[in-house]
Chains A and B, each alone.
Chain A
Amino acid sequence: MNDLTLIRKNLFRKKLRAILLTFSIMIAFLIFGALGAFYNVWTAGVDLAAANRLITVNRINFTQDMPIAYYSRVQSVQGVENVSHANWFGGYYQDPRNFVQTFAVEPETWLSVYPEMVMPDDQRAAFITDRTCLLVGADLAAQFEWSLGDRIPLNSNIWQQNDGSSDWDFNICAIFDGAEETAPSNYAVFHYEYYNESVAFNRDRIGWMVVTTTGSDINDAVIREVDALFANSSAETETTTEAAFNKAFLEQVGNIAMILLSVIGAAFATILMIVGTTMIMAINERTKEIAVMKTLGFPSPRIFRMVLAESVLLSFVGGLVGLGLATLIVNGAAGALAGFLPGLSMPMDVVGIALGLMLALGLITGVGPALAAQRLSIIDAFNKH
Chain B
Amino acid sequence: MTALYTLTDLSKRYTRGKESITIFEQLDMTIDQGDFISIMGPSGSGKTTLLNLLGGIDRPSSGAVDCEGTRVDKLSEGKLAKWRSKHVGFIFQFYNLMPTLSAAQNVELPLLLTNLSGKERKRRVETALDIVGILDRKGHRPAQLSGGQQQRVGIARAIVADPKVLLCDEPTGDLDRNTADEVLETLQLLNRELNKTIVMVTHDPAAAGYASRQLNLDKGRFVETGAA
Which A residues are within 8 Å of any B CB, using their own CB?
1-3, 5-6, 9-10, 13, 288-289, 292-301, 378-379
Contact = CB atoms under 8 A, between A and B. Distances in A.
A295 B112 contact: no
Q: Which of A6, A297, A298, A300 has the most CB of B within 10 A?
A: A297
Contacts of A289: 96, 98
B101 interface: yes
Nearest to B96: A292
Contact of A379 (B57, B90, B101): B57
| Interface SS, B side | helix
Nearest to A378: B57
B67 to A, nearest CB: 15
Contacts of B113: 296-298
Interface residues of B, number: 27
Contacts of A298: 81, 85, 112-113
Contacts of B157: 296
11 contacts: A3-B112, A6-B101, A6-B112, A13-B100, A289-B96, A296-B84, A297-B84, A297-B110, A299-B81, A300-B78, A378-B58
B226 interface: no
Interface string B66-97: 00000000000110011111100010100010
Contacts of A2: 112
Interface of B: 52, 55, 57-58, 77-78, 81-86, 90, 92, 96, 98-101, 105, 108-110, 112-113, 121, 157
A2 B157 CA distance: 16
B58 A379 contact: yes
Given A292-B96, A297-B84, A379-B52, A9 B57 contact: no
Q: Which of A9, A296, A301, A379 has the most CB of B within 10 A?
A: A296
Given A1-B105, A2-B112, A296 B100 contact: no
A296 B98 CA distance: 12
B99 A296 contact: no
B90 A296 contact: yes
A295 B55 contact: yes
Contact of A295 (B57, B77, B83, B99): B57
A294 B110 CA distance: 10
A378 to B, nearest CB: 5
A296 B52 contact: no
Contacts of A295: 55, 57, 84, 90
B59 to A, nearest CB: 10
Contact of A296 (B77, B78, B105, B109): B109
A297 B101 contact: no
Contacts of A1: 101, 105, 108, 112, 121
A362 B197 CA distance: 45
B52 A294 contact: no
Contacts of B98: 6, 9, 289, 292
A298 B57 CA distance: 12
A296 B78 CA distance: 12
A5 B106 CA distance: 12
Contacts of B92: 292
Contacts of B112: 1-3, 6, 298
Given A292-B92, A297-B81, A299-B81, 11 more contacts: A1-B121, A6-B101, A295-B84, A296-B90, A296-B157, A297-B83, A297-B84, A300-B77, A378-B57, A378-B58, A379-B58
A289 B96 CA distance: 7
Contacts of A300: 77-78, 81
A299 B78 CA distance: 6
Contacts of B86: 297
A10 to B, nearest CB: 7
Contacts of B90: 295-296
B108 A296 contact: no
A352 B81 CA distance: 39
